[in-house]
Amino acid sequence: MRSKNVTVWLAIAVITGTANADFVLWDNEYLNVTTTHSQGFLYNSSSADIQTGGSVSSIYVNDDARLNLVGGRVMVQFKAYNNSQVTITDGSVENDSKAYNNSKVTISGGYVKYLGAYGSSQTGISGGEMNTFSGYNNAKIAVSGGAVDSLSASQNSQVEVSNGSVGSLYGQHYSKITISGGSVNSLSASDESQVIISDGYVGDLHVDDIAQITISAGSINSLYASNNGTITLHGNNFRVADGVSFVGNEVIGTGSLIGRWLDGTSFIITIAENYETATILAVSEPFIEPVCTEPIVGDLNDDCRVDFVDLARMAENWMTCNLEPQSACWE
């Protein structure tokens, strides 16, 4: 791989000013960005690192090129195309950025103001702070950490939340949202979108416009169902209070729905809104008590798993020895 610093590049680039010189990288060329630039273009298999103290107003990542933001700033935008990759571990992206085609964006730190994901692009978020993210046209966004203020999915895009936090999450236009962990303060599903919740926390859950939400576990505060939306809860031992009633397995009215998820966890959910045109179903399924098929060496509390509880118990007596004489302990 050829390595280029800013001084070498200035000899061959079109110079628009020392502080605003553009750069264009091809093939396997590499640039370490430590100063201020106006625009950058990456093609083929080229790559660039933006370090602390470096900044680029706009940078365009094409083909199989790679951009790494390890500090510094992208002041206006980055755009990722084709099979390019953008990795953000620190620093900031301060305006409107986009990912297209089969590009991949990975965020584990730093700050991103806005990202629009299109086509078959993939975005993975495991850390950092994000303001607004939007997915369109079969894009995939996976949240496994970090904090996102607002996240929306539309036009067959997919969002997966397994950890981290999301302020507001919107599903529209045939999108699919899966929540298996983490926390979402408010979730709204409409326009025939689908939501599957198998764990995690959701504060307010809204459904309308023929959208469907399926819940089998997790912590839900309030349900709002309107305009032909459907919410299906899978569990058992369902009960109602405060004005809610059952007609078969359909929940009628507003009030409290009480029950137990399939994993045995009890819940109380407030039915805050329940239009006559909406449907809330409580589908009873038998609770299957877990069975320990075989004891495990190291399972100190006999719960059929070895985890941090067992490690903590072992650590309590670490380096304790009751041998007599004591001199035999550490032979």
Q: Which amino acid is at 72?
A: G
Percentage of the chain beyond pLDDT 90 is 78
172-196: per-residue pLDDT in tens?
999 999 999 999 999 999 999 999 9
Mark whether 129 and 68 lie in a shared domain: yes
Q: What string of DSSP letters covers 78-137?
A: EEE-TT-EEEEEEEEEEEEEEE-TT-EEEEEEEEEEEEEE-TT-EEEEEEEEEEEEEE-T
Within 13 Å, how many C-alpha atoms sit on residue 151's CB side?
A: 34
Mark whether 310 and 269 lie in a shared domain: no
What was the pLDDT predicted at 255? Answer: 96
16-70: per-residue pLDDT in tens?
332 344 899 999 999 999 999 999 999 999 999 999 999 999 999 999 999 999 9
Could you list the residue range(s) of the whole structural domain that residue 242 is in?
3-299
Residue 42 to residue 63: CA distance in whole angstroms: 8
Mark whether 189 and 309 lie in a shared domain: no
225-279: per-residue pLDDT in tens?
999 999 999 999 999 999 999 999 999 999 999 999 988 899 999 999 999 999 9
Whether this prediction's pTM lies above 0.85 is answered by no
Residue 142 to residue 224: CA distance in whole angstroms: 25
- The number of folded domains in the chain is 2
Picking from 81, 82, 89, the residue whose alpha carbon sits closest to that of residue 106 is: 89
Mean pLDDT to the nearest integer, 188-210? 96
Q: Which amino acid is at 263?
A: D
Backbone torsion region of residue 306, taken as left when φ is above 0, otherwise alpha when ψ lies between -120 and 50, otherwise beta: beta
What was the pLDDT predicted at 41? Answer: 95
Mark whether 38 and 174 lie in a shared domain: yes
Within 13 Å, how many C-alpha atoms sit on residue 144's CB side?
A: 7
Mark whether 313 and 206 lie in a shared domain: no
| Model confidence band, residue 307 (pLDDT cutoffs 50, 70, 90) | confident
Mark whether 245 and 284 lie in a shared domain: yes
Across 118-130, b (16+ Cβ under 10 Å) vs e yields bbebbbbbbbbbb
Mark whether 203 and 321 lie in a shared domain: no
121-138: per-residue pLDDT in tens?
999 999 999 999 999 999
Mark whether 267 and 145 lie in a shared domain: yes
Judge contact between 266 and 259, C-beta under 8 A: yes
What was the pLDDT predicted at 241? Answer: 94
Mark whether 45 and 70 lie in a shared domain: yes
Mark whether 84 and 169 lie in a shared domain: yes
Mark whether 264 and 225 lie in a shared domain: yes
Residue 170 to residue 271: CA distance in whole angstroms: 20
Mark whether 195 and 93 lie in a shared domain: yes
What was the pLDDT predicted at 288? Answer: 66
